[in-house]
Chain A
Amino acid sequence: MERVLTTPISEKDARALKAGDVIYVSGTMFTARDEAHKMMLERGNPLPVEGLALFHCGPVAQKKGDGWEILAAGPTTSARMELFEADFLRRFKSRVIVGKGGMGEKTLGALNDVGAVYTHFTGGAGALAAQAVKRVKEVHWLEELGIPEAIWVMEVAKFGPLVVAMDSHGKSLYKDLSLVVEENMKGIRDRIRK
C-alpha cells in the first residue's frame, strides 16, 4: 500500500500503518539529532510538534536572501537517538519518525503507547530529500547547535519513499530480518569452515 499522509497526522492514521507500507509525507517536518533531542527534553519544545514528522537529519543548508535553502537532507543513523526517543515521543507526540537503520525496543514500545511509526528513508539520498523540501519555515537553536544539529522546520511535499519499518503494533522489519540473517549465517559459516 502506498499513500501520502499530510500533517498534522492523527493518532488514528498513524495506527493504521503497518510495517512494510510505503508512504510519503506532505506538510511540516522538523529535524532533530542527538543534541536537539536532549535540549528539547531539557528546555521544552521551541514549536508545537504534535502530529508532525520528525526527521533524524543534519542537512546541508545555504543562506539565501533572508531565508535558507536546503541542498541535501538525507537521514542520519537513528540508533543514536534511542537514548532519548521514547521520552521524546511520549512528551511531544510526533507521529512519523523518519530516519535510517532502525531503533530499539524502547522506541518500539513508545510507538505502541503513543500511536506513531518509524519510517526508513534511503540513507544517503540527500538530493532526493532536498527536492521534496519546498521551503524552510523556521530554524531553532542554530547559533548554539550549528547547522547539522539545529532544528530545521521545513515544508515538504510528497517526501519519500518512506518504508514503514517499525509500526505501532510491535512489528519491526529490522527485528524480523535479523532472524532471517542469523539463519543464513549458519550456512555461510559452514561454507567458510569446510
Chain B
Amino acid sequence: MSFDKELSAAIGKAATVLPADVVRALEATRDREAGPARVQMEAILDNVRIARERAVPICQDTGTITFFVKLGVGFPHLGNLWRALSEATRAATQAVPLRPNTVHPFTGKNPGDNIGRYIPAITWEATEEDGAEIHILPKGGGSENCSVLKMLTPGAGLKGVKEAVTEHVVSCGGLPCPPTVIGIGIGGGADLSLKLGKLALLRPLGQRHPEPEVAALEAELEELINASGVGPMGLGGKTTVLAVHAEYAHRHPASLPLGIVVQCWAHRRAVVRIRPDGRMEVA
C-alpha cells in the first residue's frame, strides 16, 4: 500500500487552491476596504482565481512543506505513511512544480527536491483513533521570519499577552504580507508555545476556540490589531489580520511563554485522512 500519489496530489492542491474559508475571509476584507487597500485585495483575489484555474502555485514561495500528523494508535500503515511524506514532497516538487526551498545552512547547497535534514518538517501526535489525519501546511519564508517567541513574566498576565501580540504584529507592518493569520500559543514552554501557535493555524477561519475565555481573547486581539491601520500589504487600511487563533498549555509557575506564529494571506492548507483499510480522502 502506497500513499505517495494521493499525498503528492494533496500537496499540489495546497499550493494551488486556497481553502474556501480563507477565500471567504479575503472577499469580506475586499468588500470593506477602499483605495490602495482595495487594489491590493482585488489583486489577491484575481491571483487566487488564476492559480486555481491554471493549477499553478498561488505564490512563488511555495514554502517549507510542513506536516502535522494525528496518528491513531491502531493505524496499521505507519511505515508506508512515514516513507510517503518525503516521497510525496519530492514528487510534488517535480509535478506542481514547487520552488526548491531547502538550503544547507553551512554549505548553502540546495538539493532541489525540498528534502533536507529534518525537512519536510513533521510533527507526530498520537490519538485514540485507528486512522491517520495529515495536515499539510506549506509555510512561506516571509511570514515565518516574523514569527517570534516571547518569554513573558507571569505577573504580566493576559494583559501582557495582549500587549506583546499587538505590538509585535503591528511592528511587522507589511513584511509578512497582511492581511495575515496569527497563531498564538500561550504556556507550555519555549518550544511548545511556538508549536501550539502553529497548530492554531490549522483551525479553519471563522471557527473560534471552544473555550469562551480563549475565544474572547482571539476576538479582542483581532480588533486591537486591526485598529492599527497597517492594512493589506502594509499600505494602510482596516484589515491587518484576517484572524487570530489561540491555543494554550499549562505553564510552569515561573514562566509565561508566548509563541507568535505569523502566516501570510496565502494561508495554504490541505488535509488528508487515511482510514485503517487504506482508503483516503483529501479536503
Q: Spell out A's residues near B (CB within 8 Å).
A: 20, 22, 57-60, 62, 71-74, 76-77, 79, 100-102, 120-131, 146-148, 161, 163, 165, 173-174, 177-178, 180-181, 184-185, 187-189, 191-193
- Residue of chain B at shortest CB distance from A173: B235
CA distance A99 to B44 in the complex (A): 15
CA distance A151 to B62 in the complex (A): 19
**Inter-subunit contact A163/B60 (CB<8 Å):** no
**Inter-subunit contact A174/B173 (CB<8 Å):** yes
Residues of B close to A184: CB separation below 8 A: 227-229
Q: Tell me the total A-B contact number using a CB cutoff of 8 A.
A: 156
**Inter-subunit contact B163/A174 (CB<8 Å):** no
User: Chain B's interface: helix, strand, loop or mixed, by majority?
Assistant: loop
- With beta carbons under 8 angstroms apart, the residue of B140, B227, B235 that contacts A188 is B227
**Inter-subunit contact A192/B233 (CB<8 Å):** no
**Inter-subunit contact A62/B47 (CB<8 Å):** no
In chain B, residues 12-49, which have Cβ atoms closer than 8 Å to a Cβ of chain A?
36, 39-40, 43-44, 46-48
B111 to chain A, nearest CB (A): 11
B104 interfacial by beta-carbon distance below 8 Å: no
**Inter-subunit contact A77/B175 (CB<8 Å):** yes
- With beta carbons under 8 angstroms apart, the residue of A57, A72, A173 that contacts B57 is A72
Residues of A close to B56: CB separation below 8 A: 60, 71-72, 126-127, 130
10 extra A-B contacts, CB within 8 A, seeds A125-B59, A163-B40: A22-B39, A58-B99, A72-B56, A72-B57, A122-B43, A124-B61, A124-B177, A125-B43, A125-B47, A192-B163
CA distance A129 to B56 in the complex (A): 12
B51 interfacial by beta-carbon distance below 8 Å: yes
Contact with A along B59-83 (1 / 0, CB 8 A): 1111000000000000000000000
**Inter-subunit contact B235/A124 (CB<8 Å):** no
Residues of B close to A62: CB separation below 8 A: 97
**Inter-subunit contact A188/B57 (CB<8 Å):** no
- With beta carbons under 8 angstroms apart, the residue of A57, A76, A178, A189 that contacts B173 is A178
**Inter-subunit contact B60/A102 (CB<8 Å):** no
Given A20-B36, A181-B228, CB of A126 within 8 Å of CB of B264: no
CA distance A188 to B44 in the complex (A): 28
**Inter-subunit contact A101/B62 (CB<8 Å):** no
